[in-house]
Structure 1
Amino acid sequence: MTAGINHVGICPPMGMRGIIMTSRAVKLFLAVALGAAVSLPGVEAGATSRLNASQVVADMGAGWNLGNQLEANANGVPSETAWGLPAVTQGLIDRVKAAGFKTVRIPVSYLNHIGAGPNYPVNAAWLNRIQQVVDYAYKRGLYVLVNMHGDGYKTITGSWLICDAADQATIKAKYQKVWQQVAARFAGYDQHLVLESMNEEFDGQYGNPTQPCYSNINAYNQIFVDTVRKTGGNNSSRWLLVPGWNTNIDYTAGNYGFTLPTDQFRSSSIPASEKRIMISVHYYSPWDFAGEENGNITQWGRSATNPAKKSTWGQEDYLDAQLKLMRDTFVTKGYPVVVGEYGSIDKSSFDSSNNRYRADFARAIVATAKKYGAATVYWDNGANGQFGFGLFDRRTYAVTHQGIIDAIMGGLAGR
């Protein structure tokens, strides 16, 4: 996991199964093998395919991240329990839905579950488990965002999607093969499933983007879009989510080198005027409030009572300007924006009023994103207590921060 400054997007750190195929999975596997698109039980195929950009953002509602589970690993081998959390269950996802969330983002690492080239086969049991966890949310009618998460972090053992590594031809071939397998697995799923190319991809150095690293990130996004589309089925028309440099708003919307992928292999059934690509950014600004693990800055926003505990930047005006930039650059051109991660860590052990400001922060992000046509997905790393992002206890499913959940739902509802 990474940490940093300069209002970049970061996956906050939290300390460092094989599954028998379900009948649903078998049906999909056989259908994909035969080149057919299928309808899965309980979900109308193509049910959301007619939603335009603004409609799909509204339909996604409030989002929640299943963080530190399927992207967790032990010595480069992905395992959902590697970082101390229990295996994901249907009961947990049902509790998240009951709390009002309509979208679940599932970060996934592949790492050493990828075999040797030239075919780079992904471990079948791992793909089965990914699909099973996806189904926990998908079969409940939720939107599900699935990405490639830790494979691009230099700090992670087994990482390989490195934008400034020497052998880009091999990296790109591997990336293409992995996404080909993942996309084929989900070709029959309707538009409630959104695939996301990668997570916080950059060279590991905070500051202005560098070349040729940014060009390689653009190339990865293009490979992703082309590969998913070519697998057919509903993949030819589903929404796809791509980030710019480190999911940073300025480096994605500004003149720093981001290039939107073309979508030449998209289904001809989608009108040419409609886009089916979304833009991913993260929001943890100001970092000294949202993610810095100390008690120095514990308050945020216009309601802060102690100026010494409030950051000198990153307040409501900054938030508004950042999301307006995304609206002006992408949303107005038909490309929805997804704030795929946001939130702030628990510093209530230093300041008993901290959770009030964490709720204010969440409410403001959700409300401002809605104002500018973006969807939001709260980062939950499963950790509660000091420096945690958790909203639920993943063992008991109990809500641990109802105030923050209420703020998220209130921001979405305009209250």
Structure 2
Amino acid sequence: MISPIPAFPPSSHQPASRRSPRRSILSVLIAAVLMLVGVLVATAAQAAAGCKVVYQVSSQWQGGFTADVAVTNLGDTINGWNLKWTWTAGQRVTQAWSSTVTAAGDQVTATNASWNAALPTSGSVSFGFNGSWTGSNPAPASFALNGVTCTGGATPTTPPPSDPGGGSSDPEAIVAAMQPGWNLGNTLDAIPDETSWGNPLTTQALLRHVKSQGYNSIRLPITWSNHHGAAPNYTIDAAWLARVKQIVDWALAEDLYVMINLHHDSWQWINTYPTDRTNVTARYTRLWTQISAAFRAYPEELVFESINEPQFAGTTDDQQNYQALAELDEIFVDLVRASGGANTTRLLVLPTLFTNADQGRLDALNAEFDALDDPNVAATVHFYGYWPFSVNIAGGTRYDATVEQDLIGTFDRVKASFVDRGIPVIIGEWALLNWDHNRPGVIERGEFLKFLEAVGYHARTRGLTTMLWDAGQFLNRTELRWRDQGVHDIIQASWTTRSGTASSDQIFVPRTGAIGSKSLTLNLNGTTFQGLTGLTQGTDYTVSGNNLTVTASALTRLLGDRSYGVRATVEARFSQGVPWRINLISYDPATQSTATGTTTAFAIPTQFRGDQLATMEAKYADGSNAGPANWTSYKEFWTHFQPDYSANTILLKPEFFAEVNDGTVTLTFHFWSGARTTYTLTKSGTTVTGAPNS
């Protein structure tokens, strides 16, 4: 949620230089700890070619363990590889990822997957597995790559890399390459398990489909709270880590950048940091230590995000919140950098407080960047639009100038605060809060399309990478199809161009009486209007400036028998972008009748007659606002009231009556045709009666 924008002055920060990573005392201590824990490197003798293997047990429990293997080719290019080793204590591989593992007794062979067969000179590949053990679990004594024993060196004809996984990174190029991005929401972040919040198990086919739809990155929100052991080790469940790795591997195999994080941990336990620093620090450190170790050999296409939407309890002001976040981010950056391998230069993404884009939040994060002095970082904020519009409250039914200025102001602040200083920005989540296929009508479709088109344009022109929040409301993950193809089409078009829109995507025509012409205002957005498909200019429609008028004769023909509802759809085409679909609707004003019920179950009988509900007002007899959110007469769509078109009712929710005083309340229902009805409620305790006003 984006809170109202305060009148903060522009940031006083000057563009920051991109300096080499800082190494604090904390980073040195973390590095020492990791060395004591043990990153096991197996070497032996070899001749003409060369290779290096880093074998690491990232997690171990009674009878089982998780191992990560990173192979660096120090010889000539390889196209197709196998890595062999021998167990010395009877261990066995039980599950593998990013390779196929076979065994004959103690002899083990890991063979490349289809997507990681190529190993250029100085190139690296990683895979992992779960295993079993009894008695002891020593590392293999040696490894052989394609029959050649790995010694960690090479002949002079193939010089070894100077620092495996530790080359320089270009954060601006990486963030640009991540555009556009998509969130696998309500999945690995669901509590307690992947399918708990209604989404199916993730498949590689899903990720392949996301890539085929034009997305270049995915964000994997991950809640770890229910998947690790107790203090002091907080050992991550091996099966959970293996599942996370599997999805990361699948995504990388589909040529997607991947961003992983600590997600709902933010409000489950990280938020207690100000009053419980010792325990939160220990837990936070152990989790990121294990995650860093598990992914240290992964390529730069994997990105770490410290915390999702950080928030804190037990503080008295934002300065304390900023300090708490800065301390946790410093722990995160130092720990990841000290873990070695590719993590020394991996892109690390840091959020603002609440991941909010108010200027004070942006300035505080800039202060963090200055203190960290790390060249491979990016900023992240979230954007869910102007709040009244995003949930349909306070009359926020349209994408109007207020909504657009909120968007522009947010993106301008972010650009000035970070992008102009050389710090790339990821809009890690964006959408409208209450847009959901399970709650139709909360946001009118055409108004939503205008918002989507504008977000794409304003982000693109400011160099911001966007990652759509999709908890299942956009992509049907079971059928691998968009729930509304037109929504996807306008999002996709916005990545490269603008689309024309209009003041509405609906033309309402009364069912009875003479039919007159109807007009809409075109929003050209830099395009030129090309015409209405299937209709003839001059006869069926006229254009004067930005005013499009459909003639009475065309409407008469297209509406046919004029029965209620959408009778025809026409498309306005522009010189570029997605056509604008316009529904031609036959309607009569809605009618309502008396009702009796309770505060827990009250429905107003409503004959919609082709019309659709836009919003509802509630006022007491003295004209003051009734019900919840009493700073406005307009209540929140779906939360406080809900149309049911199939049942011909409008439901008033218990949440509405919970804050309504006994007595009379006048409801005003606003419909998209422009029609209104008024209805009087009388509440006495839990009993409610109602009747339409004449």
Alpha-carbon offset, residue 214 of structure 1: 2.2
Give the residue type in structure 2 aligned to 1:30.
Answer: Y
Partner of 2:380: 280
Partner of 1:320: 408
Partners of 2:53 and 2:228 in 1: CA distance: 22
Give the residue type in structure 2 aligned to 1:325.
Answer: R
Partner of 2:173: 55
SS of residue in 2 equivalent to 1:104: strand
Partners of 2:392 and 2:409 in 1: CA distance: 26
Partners of 1:405 and 1:191 in 2: CA distance: 29
Partner of 1:333: 421
Q: Deviations for 1:338-376, whole angstroms, at most 9, x for unmatched residues?
A: 000010233787659822322222222222122112100
Partner of 2:560: none
Runs of 5+ consecutive residues of structure 1 not aligned to the other structure:
9-26, 154-158, 267-274, 303-312, 383-389
Alpha-carbon offset, residue 216 of structure 1: 1.1
Counterpart of 1:183 (choices 289, 292, 295) is 292
Partner of 2:205: 91
Q: Is residue 400 of structure 1 aligned with residue 514 of structure 2?
A: no
Q: Flag the 1:32–1:194 CA change in 2: closer, same or farther, 3 A.
A: farther
Contact 1:301 1:360 in 2 (8 A): no
Q: Is residue 243 of structure 1 aligned with residue 348 of structure 2?
A: no
SS of residue in 2 equivalent to 1:132: helix
Q: Flag the 1:410–1:210 CA change in 2: closer, same or farther, 3 A.
A: same
C-alpha RMSD of matched pairs (Å): 3.3
Q: Deviations for 1:57-87, whole angstroms, at most 9, x for unmatched residues?
A: 33112111000000111xxxx3101112211
Give the residue type in structure 2 aligned to 1:64.
Answer: W
Partner of 1:30: 55
Alpha-carbon offset, residue 296 of structure 1: 4.9
Q: Is residue 149 of structure 1 aligned with residue 267 of structure 2?
A: no
Partner of 1:414: 497
Give the residue type in structure 2 aligned to 1:237.
Answer: T
Contact 1:366 1:408 in 2 (8 A): yes
Alpha-carbon offset, residue 261 of structure 1: 6.9
SS of residue in 1 equivalent to 2:337: helix
Q: Flag the 1:87–1:203 CA change in 2: closer, same or farther, 3 A.
A: same
Q: Deviations for 1:184-216, whole angstroms, at most 9, x for unmatched residues?
A: 1111111111110011111379x9952423211
Q: Is residue 70 of structure 1 aligned with residue 212 of structure 2?
A: no
Partners of 1:229 and 1:346 in 2: CA distance: 39
Alpha-carbon offset, residue 283 of structure 1: 0.4
Partner of 2:464: 374
Alpha-carbon offset, residue 36 of structure 1: 7.5
Runs of 5+ consecutive residues of structure 2 not aligned to the other structure:
7-51, 59-66, 73-97, 99-112, 125-164, 499-694
Partner of 2:338: 230
SS of residue in 1 equivalent to 2:275: coil
Counterpart of 2:312 (choices 180, 185, 203) is 203
Q: Deviations for 1:354-402, whole angstroms, at most 9, x for unmatched residues?
A: 22322222222222122112100000011xxxxxxx2211211122122
Partners of 2:497 and 2:458 in 1: CA distance: 10
Alpha-carbon offset, residue 299 of structure 1: 2.5
TM-score (norm 1): 0.77
Q: Flag the 1:239–1:256 CA change in 2: closer, same or farther, 3 A.
A: closer
Q: For 1:233-312, what aligned pairs fall within 5 Å after superposition?
A: 233-250=341-358, 251-254=360-363, 259-260=368-369, 262-263=371-372, 275-290=375-390, 292=391, 296-301=395-400
Give the number of the structure whose residues are more often helix, by fraction. 1
Q: Flag the 1:320–1:343 CA change in 2: closer, same or farther, 3 A.
A: same
Contact 2:264 2:308 in 1 (8 A): yes
Partner of 1:364: 454
Give the residue type in structure 2 aligned to 1:411.
Answer: S
Q: Flag the 1:293–1:28 CA change in 2: closer, same or farther, 3 A.
A: farther
Give the number of the structure whose residues are more often strand, by fraction. 2
Q: For 1:126-145, what aligned pairs fall within 5 Å after superposition?
A: 126-145=240-259
Partners of 1:141 and 1:335 in 2: CA distance: 24
Q: Flag the 1:406–1:258 CA change in 2: closer, same or farther, 3 A.
A: farther
Contact 2:260 2:304 in 1 (8 A): yes
Among all aligned residue pairs of Structure 1 and Structure 2, give the percentage whose two residues are the same amino acid. 31
Q: Is residue 355 of structure 1 aligned with residue 355 of structure 2?
A: no
Partners of 2:330 and 2:476 in 1: CA distance: 38
Contact 1:295 1:351 in 2 (8 A): no
SS of residue in 2 equivalent to 1:119: coil
Give the residue type in structure 2 aligned to 1:285.
Answer: G
SS of residue in 2 equivalent to 1:314: helix
Give the residue type in structure 2 aligned to 1:326.
Answer: V
Partners of 1:367 and 1:100 in 2: CA distance: 16
Partner of 2:20: none
Q: Which moved more, 1:141-150 or 1:321-330?
A: 321-330
Contact 1:60 1:375 in 2 (8 A): yes
Partner of 1:166: 275
Alpha-carbon offset, residue 281 of structure 1: 0.1
Bigger relative contact order, structure 1 or 2 (CA pairs below 8 A, ≥6 apart):
1
Partners of 1:200 and 1:380 in 2: CA distance: 16
Alpha-carbon offset, residue 51 of structure 1: 6.3
Partners of 1:232 and 1:94 in 2: CA distance: 31
Contact 2:54 2:69 in 1 (8 A): no
Give the residue type in structure 1 aligned to 2:190.
Answer: A
SS of residue in 2 equivalent to 1:376: strand
SS of residue in 1 equivalent to 2:494: helix
Q: Flag the 1:210–1:395 CA change in 2: closer, same or farther, 3 A.
A: same
